[in-house]
């Protein structure tokens, strides 16, 4: 059976073999990256919804 290489680079994207699939090797950039107003509002909305759902269950 042919062995697959553990890591490949295709179209400028680095991929790592995980089981039978190649997954892109991504990382979070270093330092403080501003997320913007809309993403902050989205995080706030999700946090409030999860808090409301957990309070309704209890």
pLDDT, one tens digit per residue, over 5-24 is 899 998 888 999 998 899 99
Rounded Cα–Cα distance for residues 31 and 11 (Å): 27
Phi, psi of 42 (to 5 degrees): -65, -45
CB of 4 closer than 8 Å to CB of 17: yes
pLDDT digits (tens, 9 = 90+) for 15-55: 999 988 999 988 777 767 777 889 889 988 988 888 777 66
Rounded Cα–Cα distance for residues 18 and 10 (Å): 16
Rounded Cα–Cα distance for residues 58 and 56 (Å): 6
Question: In terms of pTM, does the model score above 0.85?
Answer: no
């Amino acid at each position: 059976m042919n062995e697959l290489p553990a890591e490949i680079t295709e179209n400028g994207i680095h991929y790592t073999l995980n089981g039978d699939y190649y997954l892109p090797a991504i990382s979070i950039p270093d330092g403080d990256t501003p997320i913007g107003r809309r993403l902050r509002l989205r995080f706030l909305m999700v946090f409030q919804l999860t808090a409301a759902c957990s309070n309704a269950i209890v």
